[in-house]
Amino acid sequence: MDPALLRERELFKLKASAIPVVEKRQKDDSNKDEFKKKSKPLPPMPRPPSPPNTSNSMNYKTFGQSSQYKFGVLTKIVKYIKGSHQNGDDHPLTLDELLDETNQLDVGSKVKSWLETEALPSNPKIERTPDGKYLFKPPYRLKDRKALLKLLKQQDLKGLGGIMLDDVQESLPNCEKALKQLQNEILYVSRPGDKKKVIFYNDKSATIDINEEFKKMWRSIAVDNMDDEKIEEHLEKQGISSMQDNGVKKVNHVKRKKPVTKKRIYKRPRDNEHLKNVLEDYDTL
């Protein structure tokens, strides 16, 4: 044979013997088995905690919804009673009639018992009659405009001030019509804090005619940033004595001590002292 071919053959054998074929794979598999034996298995993953049993526990969402539903039923009843009173319909109604008028006949027995025992009797806007019916409870008992005018006069005479317009609107049926008829008999004043209107009786006997020039002079003087003490000092500098508080002052009455009276000594009269020279003794006889 050709010596060159023999050399190539020998080189091929050497290369083939150097390549790992089956033996290497077996070694690798054995290494894997050894690694599996040495390595410990991982513990199992913990399961998430199961949700608590809500059959016996209180469900707060349903509780909130139930309370909201109950107060919603109560609000509709109060609005209906108030509106009927302001329209002049002030007839007492039972709870079933109120639920019928407000389209709430599907109310359960628990809500009904809550309305009868707690909600309606304790509500300040509702009054319960002796026969178990319900009425609107206004701040003032006013039937017509004459009753309102009489109340305002009493407030003015007693010095109690005015009445809130909101209270009048709740108390007087057909309030807007009555206020238009009394526009010359009443006065409106807005409170500086919350801008709510207060109604006063317009006492025309107390009106005074004031000159327009005096009004202009009075309004031209700005005293916004001055308190009572600064105004009093300014008037004293101008030679004007400021008005003092002339209100009714309570006089503390001093209790006078009663004079001590001497006790009279009672002298017991002697028997027949004025006849001591006339009396005779008859024992010697």
Summarize pLDDT for 72-122 with one digit per residue, the tens: 999 999 999 988 888 888 889 999 999 999 998 888 889 889 998 888 989
pLDDT at 134: 92
Tell me: the pLDDT tens digits for 9-31? Answer: 887 777 777 666 554 444 455 55
Model-wide pTM > 0.85: no
Calpha distance 202→186 (Å, rounded)? 5
Buried b (16+ CB within 10 A) or exposed e, 128-158: eeeeeebbbbbeeebeebeebbebbeebbee
List of long-range contacts for 156-162, beta carbons under 8 Å, 24+ apart: 156/200, 156/201, 156/203, 161/198, 161/200, 162/189, 162/198, 162/199, 162/200, 162/201
Q: What dihedral do alpha carbons 124, 195, 76, 144 form, nearest 10°?
A: 70
User: Is it the case that residue 58 has pLDDT exceeding 60?
Assistant: no
282 to 4, 132, 236, 263: CA distances (angstroms): 210, 100, 103, 42
For the chain, the average pLDDT equals 77
Tell me: the pLDDT tens digits for 113-157? Answer: 999 888 898 999 899 988 889 999 889 888 888 999 999 999 888
CATH number of the domain located at residue range(s) 63-136 in this protein = 1.10.10.10
Tell me: the pLDDT tens digits for 234-278? Answer: 888 888 876 665 555 555 655 666 666 666 665 665 666 666 676
